[in-house]
């Protein structure tokens, strides 16, 4: 969480003046800031993105993570250079750091983020670690408007690893699948409390490793949180 | 009625109005008629003016806000000039930031046009700039700040130029009806909201209910086909206005709907209404239930009178209409193009009367054809009846038949759409119109009352594409924004055709400073002159230009938050 505060401060510091057709702007998008009702205690989780830049070139920060009631925390942080390359797509290059209780790992990120046909928000990336490890991830979400303010957002995330990573409980191949279903109510455009479901499921060797460690391989959680941007 | 005036040349009414011009208009229309008691707008006349730009607290929505005003007035005072005179205007800037005044649609020397960075440096805080130029034209115009977003916060006013010659129509009284949009949000915040989320102000987006209704009405197959294009393009068919009634209050002469600005008339009078769209971002559809409107001028210039029930007025356009109210009260109803709100006033025999306010029409929904993608079925291939594209330049009056060419600079992240088959929309009043069997003005109705002022054939053609990326909220011409564009070079006194191709799904009111846009509406002998041309989504439109004033001129979309990108410098040189 302290990293989170640090990131917030970076973005809040300068108030950029809007000048010309292509002003220097910033945006902080707290996509998810939520409580998860998990077996064995509540968890807090976040998924936050922010950028600063102009129409074509931006610096992006992305972070997502989870902390448990016993104060263990795992999260990832990405610092990316972002360049608009197509009407609906940005290319993103940069660094990803994983911060786990037992380990830290750095990756090189190469990704595309944008709006896929069908209005599907998509973030797909390949990650290369210095020890030769390779991973990939695809995230996609969609907005279903029941009214102009009541919006259901289904989202999926799929992770893949090329090699086993026993320290972190990851096996090679498709490792995990997350499905989210969040019903937001937009009090304003920028402020929306929500409630929903978060379901994750481990696959293949990752699931075997979890079972061997006596952990669940799938979990359905109720979530409640806030989605905010500024 | 009008044909009678044409034939007889002089009518009794015209004679009376003309004779009494100096005093009668004031007595009948502006002051005594009650405008002063219900409308605080000042009227300044003469050829020598002192204007003072400053701040003033206003409260239009229940929340006090700071406006930028002229002489303490929102809208700015009505300026009344006389054709043939030289006017001198000393404009003092009492703001904390730079300011400017641009005389919209007035033909004048470039250094008097009031666009900062164009032969004019703007007016620094505390300084006074003296504008001085001869007034060669007459009609209904307006003036506004051309500095950042001051126009959104109230810096606009009507400009009326009385003619030397008697007018070719008669009326007993007149009122200015200035339409505008007001937000309690700062314009700097509005534009940042749009840059961060382009549909920020759109509360009419497709819902699950709309989808099931479409399936119920059109069936699965048709729905799937319809949705496929929008899904592929990642565009919304409900994207009509960038900034909507969700933040705007729409004003008539600075008054919100409930304040009900009222213009008075006496029983059976002919009333001339000078409509001016001074909004930052809002295109209006105007009607007066119970009255026919005879349009007698467009953008200040006389046209052959045409009688309609309704007209669409793009940002910065003006229309003069004559109405003949009988008695009682009539609602002036100007609904925003996206039907997110309306401006409203009343024409009444006495102050305090009002008439019912009609319900708004259904909000328009864009179609595939609005994306310039061609249409299916019976309407198809309308343009195939035209001569094939060739190097020859089409005759004056009929627009261009040159091939549509998308510049290489249109291919990139900054452009999300290119109209492959842009349509001519002269006969189409625009998206969402007509409605309810009403006769709506179209550009094809506009015919100059006088013979075409410059009957030469165009020597060359310029094709310019209006481009953008809605999701990124970027606007440009030919894919290049103002900061990165070279000036457009025009030769002094050449006759040129400009064809605008709208490669976006929005209407863009495009304003060329310093020279007329002679709109090609199909009659080469009576080409109407405009200063602002509304270009419909996925459409093309042509006008002829005679650049007769040397210098640098601004050329841009008049939607305030499109302007910084969709803007060109036009350089007229010998």
- Tens of pLDDT, residues A167-203: 778 888 888 899 999 999 999 999 999 999 999 998 8
In this structure, are residues B280 and B315 in contact, taking their beta carbons and an 8 Å threshold? Answer: yes
What's the predicted TM-score (pTM) here?
A: 0.91
For residue B564, list chain A residues with Cβ-Cβ distance below 8 A.
Answer: 20-21
| pLDDT given for residue B390 in this prediction | 53
Distance of CA B203 to the CA centre of its chain: 24
B467-518: pLDDT as tens digits: 999 999 999 999 999 999 999 999 999 999 999 999 999 999 999 999 999 9
Q: Is B204 on the interface with A (CB under 8 A)?
A: yes
Beta bridge mates, A165: A170
Calculate what percentage of chain B has a pLDDT beyond 70: 90
The answer to whether the Cβ–Cβ distance between A148 and B475 falls below 8 Å is: no
B interface test, pick of A18, A21, A115 with most B CB neighbours within 10 Å: A21
Higher per-residue confidence, B356 vs B391: B356
Distances (CA, A) of B447 to B442, B452, B523: 11, 9, 7
| pLDDT given for residue B379 in this prediction | 38
B198-219: pLDDT as tens digits: 999 999 999 999 999 999 999 9
Backbone angles phi, psi at B504, to 5 degrees: -135, 175
Confidence of residue A5 (pLDDT cuts 50, 70, 90): very low
Calculate what percentage of chain A has a pLDDT beyond 90: 67
Distances (CA, A) of B318 to A90, B388, B563: 42, 35, 19
pLDDT surpasses 90 at B317 = yes
| pLDDT given for residue B1 in this prediction | 31
- The closest CB to that of A146, out of B208, B234, B567, belongs to B208
The answer to whether the Cβ–Cβ distance between B471 and A85 falls below 8 Å is: no
Q: What would the DSSP string read from start to end of B62-89? A: SSEEEEEEETTBSSEEEEEEETTSEEEE
Indicate the average pLDDT of chain A: 89
Confidence of residue B408 (pLDDT cuts 50, 70, 90): very high
B interface test, pick of A50, A87, A229 with most B CB neighbours within 10 Å: A87
| pLDDT given for residue A3 in this prediction | 52
pLDDT surpasses 80 at B351 = yes
Please tell me the distance from the alpha carbon of residue B440 to that of residue B434, in angstroms, as a whole number.
6
Q: How many CB atoms lie within 10 A of CB B555?
A: 24
For residue A21, list chain B residues with Cβ-Cβ distance below 8 A.
Answer: 474-476, 481-483, 564-565, 567
The answer to whether the Cβ–Cβ distance between A145 and B208 falls below 8 Å is: yes
3-state secondary structure of A73: strand
The answer to whether the Cβ–Cβ distance between B200 and A189 falls below 8 Å is: yes
Q: Establish whether the linkage from the previous residue to B75 is cis, with ω within 30° of 0.
A: yes
B257-268: pLDDT as tens digits: 999 999 999 999
B507-532: pLDDT as tens digits: 999 999 999 999 999 999 999 999 99
| pLDDT given for residue B372 in this prediction | 81
The tokens describing B306, both together, are 């045409």
Count of pairs with CB atoms under 8 A, one residue in A, one in B: 73
B63-80: pLDDT as tens digits: 999 999 999 999 999 999
Q: Tell me which H or E stretch contains B210.
A: helix B208-233
For residue B208, list chain A residues with Cβ-Cβ distance below 8 A.
Answer: 144-146
Indicate the average pLDDT of chain B: 90
Q: Is B221 on the interface with A (CB under 8 A)?
A: no
| pLDDT given for residue B562 in this prediction | 96
Please tell me the distance from the alpha carbon of residue B256 to that of residue B263, in angstroms, as a whole number.
14
pLDDT surpasses 60 at B4 = no
Calculate what percentage of chain B has a pLDDT beyond 90: 86
- Strands A134-141 and A150-161 turn out to be antiparallel
| pLDDT given for residue B40 in this prediction | 54
Distances (CA, A) of A160 to A140, A163, B201, B243: 15, 9, 39, 43
Prediction ipTM score: 0.90
| pLDDT given for residue B38 in this prediction | 34
With tokens 């001085």, the residue in question is B132
User: Would you tell me which residues 374-413 of chain B have a C-beta closer than 8 angstroms to some C-beta of chain A?
Assistant: 413
Distances (CA, A) of B143 to B155, B165, B361, B515: 8, 24, 31, 16
Confidence of residue A14 (pLDDT cuts 50, 70, 90): very low
Q: Is B4 on the interface with A (CB under 8 A)?
A: no
Residues in chain A whose Cβ is within 8 Å of chain B? 17-18, 20-23, 25, 27, 55-56, 84-89, 115, 117-119, 144-148, 189, 229
The answer to whether the Cβ–Cβ distance between B188 and A18 falls below 8 Å is: yes
Q: Is B471 on the interface with A (CB under 8 A)?
A: yes
The answer to whether the Cβ–Cβ distance between B472 and A25 falls below 8 Å is: no
Distances (CA, A) of B152 to B114, B280, B555, B559: 17, 5, 19, 10
| pLDDT given for residue B384 in this prediction | 40
For residue A147, list chain B residues with Cβ-Cβ distance below 8 A.
Answer: 207
For residue A56, list chain B residues with Cβ-Cβ distance below 8 A.
Answer: 413
What is the arithmetic mean of pLDDT over A132-142? 95
For residue B203, list chain A residues with Cβ-Cβ distance below 8 A.
Answer: 148
């Amino acid at each position: 969480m302290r990293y989170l505060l640090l990131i917030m401060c970076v973005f809040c510091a300068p108030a950029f003046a809007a000048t010309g057709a292509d002003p220097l702007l910033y945006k902080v998008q707290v996509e998810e800031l939520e409580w998860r009702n998990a077996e064995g205690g509540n968890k807090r989780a976040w998924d936050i993105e922010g950028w600063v830049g102009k129409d074509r070139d931006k610096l992006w920060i992305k972070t997502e993570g989870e902390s448990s009631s016993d104060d263990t925390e795992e999260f990832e942080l990405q610092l990316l250079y972002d360049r608009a390359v197509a009407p609906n797509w940005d290319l993103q290059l940069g660094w990803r750091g994983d911060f786990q209780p037992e380990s830290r790992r750095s990756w090189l990120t190469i990704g595309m983020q944008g709006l896929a046909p069908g209005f599907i928000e998509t973030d797909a990336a390949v990650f290369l670690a210095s020890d030769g490890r390779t991973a990939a991830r695809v995230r996609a979400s969609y907005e279903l408007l029941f009214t102009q303010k009541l919006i259901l957002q289904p989202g999926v995330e799929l992770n893949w690893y090329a090699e086993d990573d026993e320290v972190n409980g990851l096996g090679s191949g498709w490792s995990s699948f997350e499905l989210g279903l969040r019903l937001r109510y937009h009090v304003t455009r920028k402020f929306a409390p929500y409630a929903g479901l978060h379901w994750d499921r481990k696959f293949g060797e990752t699931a075997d490793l979890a079972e061997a460690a006596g952990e669940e391989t799938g979990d359905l959680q109720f979530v409640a949180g806030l989605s905010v941007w500024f | 009625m009008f044909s009678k005036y044409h034939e007889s040349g002089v009518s009794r009414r015209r004679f009376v109005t003309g004779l009494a011009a100096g005093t009668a208009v004031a007595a009948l229309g502006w002051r005594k008629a009650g405008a002063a008691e219900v409308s605080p707008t000042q009227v300044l006349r003469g050829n020598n003016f002192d204007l003072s730009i400053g701040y003033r607290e206003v409260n239009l929505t229940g929340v006090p806000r700071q406006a930028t005003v002229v002489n303490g007035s929102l809208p700015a005072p009505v300026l009344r000039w006389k054709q043939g005179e030289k006017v001198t205007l000393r404009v003092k800037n009492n703001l904390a930031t730079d300011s400017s005044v641009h005389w919209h649609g007035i033909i004048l020397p470039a250094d008097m046009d009031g666009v900062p960075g164009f032969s004019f440096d703007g007016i620094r805080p505390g300084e006074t700039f003296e504008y001085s130029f001869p007034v060669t034209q007459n009609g209904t115009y307006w003036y506004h700040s051309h500095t950042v977003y001051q126009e959104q916060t109230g810096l606009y006013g009507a400009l009326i130029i009385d003619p030397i010659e008697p007018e070719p129509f008669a009326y007993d009284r007149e009122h200015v009806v200035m339409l505008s949009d007001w937000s309690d949000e700062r314009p700097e915040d509005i534009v940042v909201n749009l840059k961060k989320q382009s549909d920020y102000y759109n509360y009419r987006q497709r819902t699950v209910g709309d989808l099931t209704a479409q399936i119920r009405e059109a069936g699965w197959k048709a729905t799937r086909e319809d949705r496929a294009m929008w899904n592929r393009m990642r565009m919304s068919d409900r994207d009509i206005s960038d900034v909507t009634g969700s933040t705007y209050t729409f004003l008539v002469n600075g008054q919100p709907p409930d304040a009900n600005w009222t213009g008075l008339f006496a029983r059976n009078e002919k009333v001339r209404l000078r409509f001016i769209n001074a909004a930052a971002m809002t295109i209006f559809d105007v009607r007066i239930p119970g009255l026919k409107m005879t349009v007698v001028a467009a953008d200040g210039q006389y046209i052959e009178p045409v009688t309609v029930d309704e007209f669409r007025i793009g940002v910065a356009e003006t229309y003069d209409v004559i109405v003949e109210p009988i008695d009682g009260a009539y609602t002036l109803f100007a609904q925003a193009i996206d039907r997110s709100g309306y401006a409203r006033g009343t024409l009444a025999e006495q102050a305090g009367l009002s008439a019912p306010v009609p319900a708004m029409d259904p909000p328009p929904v864009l179609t595939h054809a609005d994306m310039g993608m061609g249409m299916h079925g019976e309407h198809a291939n309308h343009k195939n009846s035209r001569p094939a594209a060739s190097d020859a330049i089409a005759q004056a009056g009929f627009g261009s038949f040159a091939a549509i060419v998308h510049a290489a600079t249109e291919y990139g992240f900054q452009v999300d759409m290119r109209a492959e088959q842009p349509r001519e929309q002269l006969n189409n009043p625009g998206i969402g119109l007509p409605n309810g069997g009403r006769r709506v003005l179209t550009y094809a109705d506009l015919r100059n009352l006088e013979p075409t002022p410059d009957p030469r054939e165009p020597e060359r053609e310029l094709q310019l594409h209006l481009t953008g990326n809605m999701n990124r909220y970027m606007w440009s011409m030919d894919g290049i924004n103002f900061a990165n564009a070279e000036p457009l070079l025009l030769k002094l006194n050449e006759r040129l055709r400009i064809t605008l191709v709208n490669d976006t799904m929005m209407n863009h009111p495009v304003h060329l400073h310093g020279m007329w846009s002679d709109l090609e509406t199909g009659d080469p002998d009576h080409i109407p002159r405009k200063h602002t041309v509304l270009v419909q989504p996925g459409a093309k439109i042509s006008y002829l230009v005679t650049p007769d004033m040397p210098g640098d001129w601004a050329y841009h979309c008049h939607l305030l938050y499109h302007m910084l990108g969709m803007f060109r410098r036009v350089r007229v040189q010998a």
